[in-house]
Amino acid sequence: MPKKRILPYVLLGLINNKGSLSGYQISQEFKHEVGDFWHASHSQIYPELARMKEDGWLIDHDEDKSTFYNVTEMGHQVLRDWMQEPLTDNEEIFSLKLYFIKEQSDPLLEDLLKQELKIKQTKLEYLQGRLKEVFSDKKTIQENFGHYLILTRAIERESNHIQWIEDKL
Amino acid sequence: MPKKRILPYVLLGLINNKGSLSGYQISQEFKHEVGDFWHASHSQIYPELARMKEDGWLIDHDEDKSTFYNVTEMGHQVLRDWMQEPLTDNEEIFSLKLYFIKEQSDPLLEDLLKQELKIKQTKLEYLQGRLKEVFSDKKTIQENFGHYLILTRAIERESNHIQWIEDKL
DNA sequence: CGAATCATGTAATGCGTTACATGATTAG
DNA sequence: CTAATCATGTAACGCATTACATGATTCG
């Protein structure tokens, strides 16, 4: 099976948030706000928008020399479905989905945090297992110091993330 | 200019660490140790090794029905140069380079940590700036709660990373 | 009036993934 | 003896980046 594409959902989410956006505005968004979490160039955006329109996820209207897109009912459904798809070990998607949540009261918020918590806990356990497995003695640590460092760093990173999520829940 | 490729340097680093590796062994490495930080499939590895051999970075010899590769003097130079290239805002490359450092006494270790520290400090400042800029009032926070969350998360993440580096230095 | 920005598009290129393929050896 | 693993390769496909291209408008 081909790898799941993310761009269309990002576009859907962005247009949904703002109500209506042109291709140019979207490419500007990527230079600011969203740019911290995701990026796409205009040569990806324009054809993608055209495809999404053909698929019935968007409708367009011309205005002010720009083509603006709005999310259709079908598009809303597609976006909702994507938002509710289970998370995988991919922090970018977690960030994006969070980004698309507007209200603190949105029940999806807690759901996302809980999902991410579980994923990160599993990862933490895995990394801790690796540490024990690979670096059982001091000699191995000394002879693979960089590897040791980066593995312990990864563990601390996940711990920090878990703490943060637990804090928010 | 085309985007800098990383795979050849990863292969160089791996072969250098182990002394001698076959394509198959490398693809196995990606399923274990290195797999936590980088991945490549065999259909990338084999042609890449062939190219690197042609470029004079590697020499091969057949043994036990496998083709083993060793790093040439030229390859060592290329690897050293790459290891010393300034870091960019790319944690994967930082991890990889650390992974390739064997001895705690390697002067490159401190250099890498210091470089990464600077990059992360810059990023932290940038993110803190964004926070102030975008979320100046409570209303904005309430109306873009997910964005607020993920931005504060990113800030904490960078802070944690900086603390870790300072701890190691 | 010339440079920058707005606004949209297509083409070329490269990299990575998946799939297709094949032969040898080993383990159950 | 047959399934899994060893071991290497190529082909097809998709996606992203860069470059090429064009016309309108705005700002200095």
Question: Using one digit for the tens of pLDDT, what is the confidence trace for B70-97?
Answer: 999 999 999 999 999 999 999 999 999 9
Residue B131 has pLDDT above 90, yes or no: yes
CA of B47 to C1' of D10 (A): 10
φ, ψ for residue B104, nearest 5 deg: -60, -25
Residue after which a domain boundary falls, among B82, B99, B116 = B99
Supply the mean pLDDT for chain A: 96
Q: Do A25 and A92 belong to one domain?
A: yes
Within a domain: B2: no
Within a domain: A2: no
Q: Say how far apart CA B123 and CA B114 lie, in whole Å.
A: 14
Q: Do B41 and B74 belong to one domain?
A: yes
Q: Do A65 and A82 belong to one domain?
A: yes
| Model pLDDT, residue A84 | 96
| Residues of chain B positioned with their CB less than 8 A from the CB of A145 | 101-104, 106, 109
- B71 SS3 class: strand
Q: Do B51 and B84 belong to one domain?
A: yes
Task: Say yes or no: A155 contacts chain B, CB-CB below 8 A.
Answer: no
Q: Say how far apart CA A107 and CA A5 lie, in whole Å.
A: 25
Within a domain: A114: yes
Residue B156 has pLDDT above 90, yes or no: yes
One-letter amino acid at A141 equals I
Question: Using one digit for the tens of pLDDT, what is the confidence trace for B14-28?
Answer: 999 999 999 999 999
Q: What is the DSSP letter of A19?
A: S
| Model pLDDT, residue B47 | 97
Question: Using the beta-carbon criterion (under 8 Å), do B98 and A156 form an inter-chain contact?
Answer: no
Nucleotide nearest to B24 (CA to C1'): D7
Segments forming the whole domain that contains residue B164: 107-168
Tally of structural domains, chain B: 2
Residue A1 has pLDDT above 90, yes or no: no
Q: Do A12 and A90 belong to one domain?
A: yes
Q: Do A50 and A84 belong to one domain?
A: yes
Q: Confidence band (pLDDT; 50, 70, 90) for A33?
A: confident
Q: Do A21 and A70 belong to one domain?
A: yes
Mean pLDDT in residue range A12-29: 97
φ, ψ for residue A137, nearest 5 deg: -125, 160
Q: Do A93 and A113 belong to one domain?
A: no
Alpha helices by DSSP H, listed for chain B, are 7-18, 23-29, 42-54, 73-84, 91-99, 107-134, 138-143, 145-168
Residue B107 has pLDDT above 90, yes or no: yes
Residue after which a domain boundary falls, among B99, B116, B148 = B99
Q: Do B129 and B49 belong to one domain?
A: no
Q: Do A69 and A12 belong to one domain?
A: yes
Question: Using the beta-carbon criterion (under 8 Å), do A98 and B143 form an inter-chain contact?
Answer: no
Question: Using the beta-carbon criterion (under 8 Å), do A151 and B36 form an inter-chain contact?
Answer: yes
Q: What is the least distance, in Å, from the CA of A79 to any CA of chain B?
A: 16
Q: In the numeric block, which tokens belong to residue B128? A: 């803190």
CA of A40 to C1' of C14 (A): 17
| Model pLDDT, residue B2 | 79
Residue A154 has pLDDT above 90, yes or no: yes
Within a domain: B1: no
Question: Using one digit for the tens of pLDDT, what is the confidence trace for A48-104?
Answer: 999 999 999 999 999 988 999 999 999 999 999 999 999 999 999 999 999 999 999
Task: Say yes or no: B98 contacts chain A, CB-CB below 8 A.
Answer: yes
- DSSP string over A26-78: HHHHTTSGGGGT----HHHHHHHHHHHHHTTSEEEEEETTEEEEEE-HHHHHH
| Model pLDDT, residue B33 | 87
CA of A27 to C1' of C5 (A): 14
Residue of B nearest to A161 (CA): B157
Cβ-based contacts under 8 A for chains A and B: 83
Q: Confidence band (pLDDT; 50, 70, 90) for A2?
A: confident
Q: Do B28 and B87 belong to one domain?
A: yes
Question: Using the beta-carbon criterion (under 8 Å), do A147 and B33 form an inter-chain contact?
Answer: yes
Question: Using the beta-carbon criterion (under 8 Å), do A102 and B168 form an inter-chain contact?
Answer: no
Q: Do B162 and B91 belong to one domain?
A: no
Residue after which a domain boundary falls, among A66, A99, A132 = A99
Within a domain: A163: yes
Within a domain: A19: yes
Footprint of strand C on the protein (CB under 7 A): A 1-3, 22-25, 27-28, 42-43, 46-47, 49-50, 64-67; B 2-3, 5-7, 39-41, 43-44, 65
B 13-42 residues inside an 8 A Cβ radius of A: 33, 36-37
| Model pLDDT, residue A137 | 95
Within a domain: B90: yes
Task: Say yes or no: A160 contacts chain B, CB-CB below 8 A.
Answer: yes
CATH number for the domain spanning A45: value is 1.10.10.10
Question: Using one digit for the tens of pLDDT, what is the confidence trace for A91-149?
Answer: 999 999 999 999 999 999 999 999 999 999 999 999 999 999 999 999 999 999 999 99
| Model pLDDT, residue B3 | 87
**Residue in this structure with the two tokens 């603190």, named with its chain if needed:** A104
